[in-house]
Amino acid sequence: MKKSDFAFIAVILAIFAPFALSETLYGWYKSFNAEHGMVMSFLKFAILSTAGELLGLRLSAGIYLKRGFGVWPRAVVWGILGMGINLAMIIFSNGVPVALEYCGLQGATAAMAGPVTLMKVLTALCISIGMNGIFAPVFMTFHKITDTHILACGGSLRALATPIPMARIMTGLNWDAQWNFVFKKTIPFFWVPAHTVTFLLPGEARVLFAALLGVVLGVLLAVAARMKSKG
């Protein structure tokens, strides 16, 4: 391990350890999370998903920071996207059970409010499929566009104030990789099962778990990139 690895671990511990060690701080977190869900969604994704990208960069390039990477604008974008993910989870977790009952699967809404049963797992799977089939492709494409824009701006904070040239970036995207890897592989083989587990959790834990999944995916993508380069 390098000094940067210890520094990264130290920062993560400094952020999260106090909440694990202090019941007062943890109680404040739960209260604030319940009252200001959107603010907490911004913070969770800004911190955790950005940390996942940094960890992925460390695994793929051997460093946590690279010139032009744009940590701060990425964190802001992740925070905004995190609020969108929170809203999407609310919409689909409430709407899909109603749609299932409309289609004849009675008890879906009640199952989601109760303990883990076969009906709850099936409903959670349907919620995950609905969200990842409708929301995820748009979200992933927009996230790719913002990443490209941040890199084009040299990782500077001015990326947040500079209009995104949507048409030019969308035309230049690698749609073959976007479709054949991001959509066809990560959605059915990672996000659908992962979000099925997410929707089995209590409502207050879902956004935090979803943000942690961003860390896991960053690591998996970095490992896959390394294996591909070696191959």
Query: What share of the chain has pLDDT > 70, as a percent?
Result: 95
The count of other CB atoms within 10 Å of the CB of residue 166 is 11
What secondary structure letter does DSSP report for 164?
P
Q: Provide the pLDDT for residue 212.
A: 87
Higher pLDDT among residues 224 and 168, named by residue: 168
State yes or no: pLDDT of 225 exceeds 70: no
Q: What is the pLDDT of residues 125-150, one digit of tens each?
A: 999 999 999 999 999 999 999 999 99
Instruction: Report how far residue 78's alpha carbon sits from residue 81's, in angstroms, rounded to the nearest whole number.
Output: 5
Average pLDDT, the chain: 90
111, 112, 121, 123, 189 from 118: Cα distances, Å: 9, 11, 5, 9, 21
State yes or no: pLDDT of 229 exceeds 70: no
At residue 228 the predicted structure's pLDDT band, cuts being 50, 70 and 90, is low
Structure tokens, 144: 């790719």
- Helices (H), ranges, the chain: 3-21, 23-35, 37-44, 50-61, 71-102, 108-112, 118-134, 136-152, 166-172, 175-177, 192-200, 203-230
Radius of gyration of the chain (CA): 19
Averaging pLDDT over each range in 9-13, 166-170, 200-204, which range is the top one? 166-170
Higher pLDDT among residues 127 and 23, named by residue: 127
Q: What is the pLDDT of residues 38-80, one digit of tens each?
A: 999 999 999 998 998 888 888 878 888 888 999 999 999 999 9
Can you give the pTM of this predicted structure?
0.89
State yes or no: pLDDT of 231 exceeds 60: no
Task: Report the SS3 class of residue 165.
Answer: coil
State yes or no: pLDDT of 227 exceeds 60: no
Residue type, 50: T
Chain-centroid distance of CA 156 in Å reads 22
